[in-house]
Amino acid sequence: MNKGELIEAVANATSSTKADAGRAIDATVDAITKALKKSDTVTLIGFGTFKVSKRAARTGRNPQTGAELKIPARNAPSFKAGAALKAAVN
């Protein structure tokens, strides 16, 4: 499912227009993104949790040459599925 299909599904489920559903989805994604930028956790009960995990700096290897290279520390977004989502998938 891509974003267009998601917008159509939300519009059909809520009896709203595709434009309204698109704005709602964009606002939701924007709110989650802003929260993660501030290193906040976003929990949607039954669906899952979005959070930022810190990755430490490490040494890697170039697969072509075998030369060592330094990989800098960074923050990475992560998602952990909730129990209801796991149950629905299985």
Burial class (CB in 10 A: 0-12, 13-18, 19+), 32: middle
| SS3 (DSSP) at 8 | helix
pLDDT tens across 12-30, in order? Answer: 999 999 999 999 999 999 9
| SS3 (DSSP) at 50 | strand
* CATH number given to 40-90: 4.10.520.10
Domain boundaries, the chain: 1-38, 40-90
On whether the CB atoms of residues 37 and 22 are closer than 8 A, the answer is no
pTM above 0.85, yes or no: no
pLDDT tens across 52-68, in order? Answer: 999 999 999 999 999 99
**pLDDT (0 to 100) of residue 87:** 94
pLDDT band at 44 (very low <50, low <70, confident <90, very high): very high
Q: What is the mean pLDDT of residues 28-48?
A: 95
Name the nearest CA neighbour of 23 among 3, 44, 51.
Answer: 3
